[in-house]
């Protein structure tokens, strides 16, 4: 008994000694426990001549910060940090230099804080440190000249590596059947939060819940396999979403979004397809906004490199777009039964995420987080189940028609076949 107690006491001492060592060598300890660091609170301190953004942490991660121009932002790169505060903490901090800030997972093992600036700023300090209240992340900014900001941002753009290596794309398990694949793409994620509702509802969360419900309904129908481009809260570049659909040989790609507008009375779902020219001004605005998703995470938006193709490419693209429109019409007629359509539910514009030339693709805008009615629907599990059910029925009809066409190639010279 005595020796047991002694051993327990020794173990306690040993643990104590370890934590003291951890405290004395915080950088090394943080390195070992890098996946365990959480951010618990965030706040801004406005000081004379500068602004300080603080995150209370549970460890001391290495910090890299640099400016990015157009629009002016400060990017703060961290190893994976779990942000555990209210998701809308940074939306309108009311600071003279920091317009807003976002945070979240940027890539596997990497987190990021993106600070939107009201004007040019220089970084006085960006580090993790031990304060009397515990470890914290400190970012101190001061106003500077536009010329200085532009010069440092240009220098960083040369120094920072281009985009991070994209995460390995989710690849479906080897199919046990030859069922067609439907790829569902919950918009945004991680540091890119998408649209926000008045009470802090986030598009990235709303669309992920819907996508999961939709996967469940489609799988229950038994006609198709389903793959989600992301199944948790992480950032994914637009081009990567398209690549996942193409690499998995998808028969249909459905990107799920929700919008917000200053006009709170605008409500209902809209289905978008891709087109060179936008169907209307609202669709053009929507595409422009959604195409900025990569920028929200601090990536430079790449010029949209339209694939130039031969005649087969053009024919395939034309056929794919006609299938996209066909699915869009069908989806809208199914959604009528859920009773929540926009006045003009069928629109088109140049959405980057819909540009796979050989995968029929639509963007389903579930509704507006700025509308009280839509918000009530979007956050209701009952509504989500019904809307996902109707969407799954439209998917089933589309898949069945496509397989019938594929089985009767004589009637349809193109046969719905896709070049490999």
Task: Tell me which of 52, 102, 257, 377 binds Zn ion, using CB under 5 A.
Answer: 257
- For Zn ion, which stretch binds (CB under 5 A), given 215-223, 254-262, 296-304, 352-360? 254-262
For 417, the token pair is 């076949």
259 vs 104, 215, 267, 333, CA distance in Å?
20, 21, 10, 21
Q: Does 194 bind Zn ion (CB under 5 A)?
A: yes
Q: How far is the CB of 187 from Zn ion (least distance, A)?
A: 4
Q: Report yes or no: 68 and 74 within 8 Å, Cβ to Cβ.
A: yes
**Shorter beta-carbon distance to Zn ion: residue 204 or 325:** 204
Where in 368-387 is the site for Zn ion (CB under 5 A)? none
Q: How far is the CB of 358 from Zn ion (least distance, A)?
A: 24
What is the dihedral sign for C-alpha 264, 191, 135, 85? positive
Task: Tell me which of 187, 197, 367, 416 binds Zn ion, using CB under 5 A.
Answer: 187
Q: How far is the CB of 318 from Zn ion (least distance, A)?
A: 27
Which residue minimizes CB distance to Zn ion? 257
β 341-349/225-228 pair status: unpaired
- For Zn ion, which stretch binds (CB under 5 A), given 10-18, 81-89, 250-258, 374-382? 250-258
Where in 299-338 is the site for Zn ion (CB under 5 A)? none
- For Zn ion, which stretch binds (CB under 5 A), given 188-196, 260-268, 275-283, 380-388? 188-196
Residue 131 CB coordination number (10 Å): 11
Q: How far is the CB of 207 from Zn ion (least distance, A)?
A: 7
Rounded to an integer, what distance in angstroms lies between the CA atom of residue 408 and that of residue 297?
46
**Shorter beta-carbon distance to Zn ion: residue 187 or 416:** 187
- For Zn ion, which stretch binds (CB under 5 A), given 69-77, 185-193, 225-233, 383-391? 185-193
Q: Report yes or no: 183 and 248 within 8 Å, Cβ to Cβ.
A: yes
**Shorter beta-carbon distance to Zn ion: residue 65 or 375:** 375
**Shorter beta-carbon distance to Zn ion: residue 225 or 257:** 257
Residue 2 CB coordination number (10 Å): 6
220 vs 155, 250, 389, CA distance in Å?
53, 18, 10
**Shorter beta-carbon distance to Zn ion: residue 384 or 402:** 384
**Shorter beta-carbon distance to Zn ion: residue 187 or 367:** 187
Q: How far is the CB of 83 from Zn ion (least distance, A)?
A: 20
**Contacts of residue 223, Cβ cutoff 8 Å, sequence gap at least 6:** 179, 180, 395, 396, 399, 400
**Shorter beta-carbon distance to Zn ion: residue 180 or 194:** 194
By CB under 5 A, the count of residues binding Zn ion is 3
Q: How far is the CB of 369 from Zn ion (least distance, A)?
A: 10
Q: Report yes or no: 361 and 273 within 8 Å, Cβ to Cβ.
A: yes
Q: How far is the CB of 417 from Zn ion (least distance, A)?
A: 32
**Shorter beta-carbon distance to Zn ion: residue 120 or 194:** 194
Q: How far is the CB of 197 from Zn ion (least distance, A)?
A: 13
**CA angle centred on 270, ends 390 and 256, rounded to 5°:** 70
- For Zn ion, which stretch binds (CB under 5 A), given 6-14, 22-30, 173-181, 183-191? 183-191
128 vs 51, 71, 83, CA distance in Å?
16, 26, 15
Rounded to an integer, what distance in angstroms lies between the CA atom of residue 85 and that of residue 98?
19
**Shorter beta-carbon distance to Zn ion: residue 73 or 257:** 257
Torsions phi, psi for 134 (to 5 deg): 125, -175
Q: How far is the CB of 365 from Zn ion (least distance, A)?
A: 8
Rounded to an integer, what distance in angstroms lies between the CA atom of residue 211 and that of residue 311?
35
209-243 b/e (C-beta count within 10 Å ≥ 16 → b): bbbbbbbebbeeeebbbbbbbbeebbbbbbbbbbe
Q: Where along the sequence are the contacts to Zn ion (CB under 5 A)?
A: 187, 194, 257
């Amino acid at each position: 008994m005595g020796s047991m107690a002694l051993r327990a006491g020794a173990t306690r001492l040993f643990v104590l000694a370890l934590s003291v060592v951890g405290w004395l060598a915080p950088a090394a300890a943080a390195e070992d426990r890098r996946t365990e660091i959480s951010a618990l609170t965030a706040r801004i301190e406005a000081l004379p001549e500068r602004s300080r953004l603080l995150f209370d942490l549970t460890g001391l991660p290495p910090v890299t910060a640099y400016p990015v121009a157009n629009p002016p932002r400060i990017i703060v790169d961290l190893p994976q940090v779990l942000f555990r505060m209210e998701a809308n903490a940074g939306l309108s901090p009311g600071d003279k230099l920091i317009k807003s800030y976002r945070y979240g997972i940027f890539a596997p093992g990497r987190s990021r804080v993106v600070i939107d600036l009201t004007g040019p700023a220089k970084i006085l300090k960006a580090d993790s440190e031990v304060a009397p209240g515990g470890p914290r992340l400190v970012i101190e900014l001061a106003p500077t000249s536009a010329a200085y900001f532009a010069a440092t941002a240009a220098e960083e753009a040369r120094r920072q590596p281009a985009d991070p290596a994209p995460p390995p794309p989710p690849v479906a398990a080897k199919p046990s059947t030859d069922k067609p694949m439907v790829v569902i793409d919950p918009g945004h994620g991680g540091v890119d939060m998408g649209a926000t509702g008045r009470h802090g509802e986030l598009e990235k969360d709303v669309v992920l819940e819907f996508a999961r419900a939709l996967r469940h309904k489609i799988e229950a129908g038994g006609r198709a396999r389903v793959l989600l481009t992301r199944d948790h809260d992480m950032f994914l570049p637009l081009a990567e979403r398209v690549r996942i659909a193409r690499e998995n040989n998808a028969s249909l790609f459905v990107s799920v979004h929700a919008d917000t507008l200053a006009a709170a009375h605008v409500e209902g779902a809209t289905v978008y397809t891709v087109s060179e020219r936008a169907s209307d001004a609202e669709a053009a605005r929507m595409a422009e906004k959604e195409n900025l998703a990569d920028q929200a995470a601090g990536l430079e938006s790449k010029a949209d490199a339209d694939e130039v193709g031969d005649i087969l490419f053009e024919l395939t693209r034309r056929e794919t777009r006609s299938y996209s429109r066909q699915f869009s019409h069908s989806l809208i007629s199914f959604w009528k039964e859920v009773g929540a359509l926009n006045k003009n539910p069928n629109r088109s514009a140049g959405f980057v995420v819909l540009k796979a030339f050989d995968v029929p693709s639509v963007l389903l805008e579930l509704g507006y987080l700025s509308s009280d009615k839509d918000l009530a629907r979007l956050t209701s599990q009952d509504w989500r189940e019904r809307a996902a059910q109707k969407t799954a029925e439209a998917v089933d009809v589309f898949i069945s028609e496509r397989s019938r066409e594929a089985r009767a190639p004589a009637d349809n010279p193109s046969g719905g076949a896709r070049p490999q």
